Structure 1
Amino acid sequence: MRISFRQLEYLVAVADAGSITGAAAVCGASQAGVSLSLSDLEKRLGVQLLIRQKAKGVKLTAAGARVVAEGRRLVEAAEELQASAAAAEHEVSGTLGIGCYTSLSPFFIPPLLDEFAGRFPALEVHVLEGIADDLLAALRDGRCELALLYAEDCDAGLTMVPVRTSRPYLILAADHPLAVRDAIHLADIADEPLIMFDVPSARNAVRMLEAVGLTARVRHMSSNIEVVRGLVARGVGYSILVQRWPADLSFEGRPIACRSIADPVPERKVVLAWPDGIRLTRRAHTLIDFCCTTMESGSRLTHTD
């Protein structure tokens, strides 16, 4: 049995495009050529990789998904080898896939696509935004080489490097009576309405109150951070966040007071994660260096969401 590298490229392209037609266009091959090559691959491996659906593209079988994950790593390794051979000694090139947790995106994606990518013109940076489960799946099947996540969202099969450590904090209207304090105990504000940022990383607010014997009075939940901040600025309630916004103003321009929590609260760690046992590319190591030096220092964002 001997399979070709081109067959693996076709299979990965089909998995990404969702159809043989789309894969053929990406690979610059004919539809018939891709179809015949994949049929031969299935024959050589002795398993069905694709379920072909008329007018609905193709669907991977369980075996197909496993082969795609391994094939993707081989394709990327070959690209890394080619890029390393062609690049100058100081140059970082090729394609780097990065996952980023949704609520971290406003803080990490702009510098990644601007400052980091700008340092390496020969490097093509792609960022996938999503919730933790989606990013973990992307790491496992090779769509991302690294992902920016919260440490508590990572499973046992990942290696992690800490990028930023943050502490939850309170936001309330600037004219709130408690705003004169530098730090506020949760018991002093728990009876007031809670405006909850409705993303998994911020739902710890309720558990944080419960941990000290308090009950949250949720007034409104929103997955839009500006809605949360806007309601707080208007005095409708308070909120507990992790990520510190660079300006203490709502979308409407109303002032917001950001205050420390006087109670002991668990810190949150943002990490770069990748699957155990994977040999990182030079591109990935460059990103780790960038995040651990530039993203932690040189910004007001010492708190995170």
Structure 2
Amino acid sequence: MPRLTLRQLEYLVAVGETGSIARAADRLNVSSPSISSAINQLEEELAISLFVRQHAQGLSLTQGGQRVLEKARQVLNDAREIANIAADISGTARGPLAVGCLLTFAQLVLPRLRRGFETGFPDVRIAQKELNQAEIFNALQRSEIDIALTYDMDIPTDLNFIGLVRLNPFALLHAGHELATRTSVSIDDLADLPMILLDLPISTDYFLSLFTASSRQPRIVELTRDMAVMRSMVGNAFGYSIANVRLQSNTSPDGNQLVCVPITGPVRSLRMGLLTTHGAEKSRTVSAFIDYAQAQARAGAFRAIGGETLS
């Protein structure tokens, strides 16, 4: 019987989902050689090839590798459930916790929240994933993650949202923009101007809904799926954009000054919070993470990104 480890299976899933050892290493915060060695050992133990190595295109799963990947996910989920049972019996939060986070604000929220939680609960080991909204729904429903930080956008009925803070929309402008000196702007002020749209599943629908509420249509000139690229496009005067999360710096990645101007009028704010499957809070580890995040919200931990504590 092959001798497999949970760590090997974790590495397999990460490589299978990202299609790259380097990207899997970034996701898991381990070295690429460690992952490469684990995959090689796994293939030797199983006596099959799990991946096809393509020099220019990374790694793709073989048919056998796809079947093993699906079973590996199931084994890792079962291992988390065993850890949850142990945590309930011992009365303490412990074991692995898979946390997803909306990629548009993951860099601003997740590392600090994770560090504080792991300091307070040293027996918990967090694995994080940065995902778009549709991917978060899918990962929760497939039990690939235990909990996620995201917005209250189009939440499916089989998932449970716990609000933490409210985030209002603002226009992101380059410092020389004609509206940059205003204290606020309306959708009518923006509609006829060139817009750089952050083009992500469900998030895009929210941005466009701000215009629909005012019976206007935006003049979209560029689409990007990358927050940093969007900021640099704005900084270089290709247009304005709309966001809900304020970064710590008013400088674009390539060094241009940016200005955030609140949008007033009939615009919907978003709530940032925690998303779980129904009943997930019965896990002592998930419950501890929820309690910690709520305490951080009440203490004003999200104020720097524009978060208003919910009443």
TM-score (norm 2): 0.72
2:178 and 2:65 mapped to 1: Cα distance?
60
Question: For the residues of structure 2 that align with 1:285 and 1:189, how far apart are their CA atoms?
Answer: 42
Residues 57-113 of structure 1 deviation map (CA, whole Å, 9 limit, x = unaligned): 25559xxx7x9988766543322333455x6x6x53211111112213112221133
Quote the offset at 1:238 in angstroms: 1.1
Matched residue, 1:57: 64
- Whole-angstrom CA distance in 2 between matches of 1:157 and 1:68: 24
SS at match of 2:197: strand
The question of 1:268 aligning with 2:270 is answered yes
| RMSD, matched Cα | 3.5
- Distance in structure 1 (CA, Å) of the matches to 2:242 and 2:77: 40
**Structure 1 counterpart of 2:64, one-letter code:** G
| 2:86 corresponds to 1:82 | yes
Q: Which one-letter code corresponds to 2:81 in the other structure?
A: A
Corresponding position of 2:134? 133
Matching residue of 2:113: 112
Q: Please give the alpha-carbon distance, in whole angstroms, between the structure 1 residues aligned to 2:210 and 2:256.
A: 27
Q: Return the alpha-carbon distance in structure 2 between the equivalents of residues 303 and 83 of structure 1.
A: 32
Aligned pair 1:247/2:254, yes or no? no
* Deviation string, structure 1 residues 274-293 (Cα, Å, up to 9, x no partner): 11234532111111122122
| 1:205–1:158 CA distance, 2 compared to 1 (3 A) | closer
For the residues of structure 1 that align with 2:99 and 2:221, how far apart are their CA atoms? 36
In the alignment, what sits opposite 2:283? 281
Q: Which letter does structure 1 place at the counterpart of 2:163? A: P
Contact 1:69 1:140 in 2 (8 A): no
Find the aligned partners of 1:236 and 1:134 in 2 and give their Cα distance.
29
Structure 2: tracts of 5 or more residues without a match: 1-5, 17-37, 48-60
**How many residue pairs end up in the alignment?**
264
**Percent of aligned positions that are identical:** 22
Secondary structure in structure 2 of the residue aligned to 1:270: strand
Give the secondary structure class of the aligned counterpart of 1:248: coil
Instruction: In structure 2, give the amino acid aligned to 1:116.
Output: F
Deviation at 1:224, TM superposition (A): 1.8
Q: Which amino acid aligns with 1:151?
A: D
Native 8 Å contact 1:72 1:142 kept in 2: no
| Aligned-partner SS, 1:253 | coil
SS in 2 for 1:284: helix
Instruction: Provide the C-alpha distance between the structure 1 equivalents of 2:212 and 2:124, rounded to a whole number of angstroms.
Output: 47
> Which secondary structure does the structure 2 equivalent of 1:177 belong to?
coil
Contact 1:113 1:125 in 2 (8 A): yes
CA 1:60–1:279 in 2, change beyond 3 Å: closer, same or farther? Answer: farther
Among candidates 213, 218, 221, match of residue 219 of structure 1: 221
The offset of 1:257, in angstroms, is 1.3
CA displacement, residues 170-222 of structure 1 (integer Å, 9 cap, x when unaligned): 11122223222211122123211111112232453233123212221111111
Q: Does 1:238 align with 2:245?
A: no
Structure 1 residue runs without a partner (length 5+): 1-8, 33-53
Where in structure 2 are the equivalents of 1:76-225 lying within 5 Å?
76-83=80-87, 92-200=93-201, 201-225=203-227
Structure 1 stretch displaced more, 140-149 or 237-246: 140-149
Is 1:258 paired with 2:260?
yes
Q: Contact 1:100/1:135 (CA < 8 Å) preserved in 2? A: yes
1:289-304 matches, within 5 Å, as 289-295=291-297, 297-298=300-301, 299-302=303-306
TM normalised by structure 1 equals 0.73
Tell whether the 8 Å contact from 1:162 to 1:269 is kept in structure 2 after alignment.
Answer: yes
Contact 2:146 2:280 (8 Å CA) reproduced: no
Cα pair distance change 1:248/1:203, threshold 3 Å: farther
- The residue type equivalent to 1:185 in the other structure is S
Q: 2-side partners of 1:209 and 1:226: how far apart?
A: 23
SS at match of 2:138: helix
8 Å Cα contact 1:168-1:303 kept in structure 2: no
Within 2, Cα distance between the matches of 1:173 and 1:69? 45
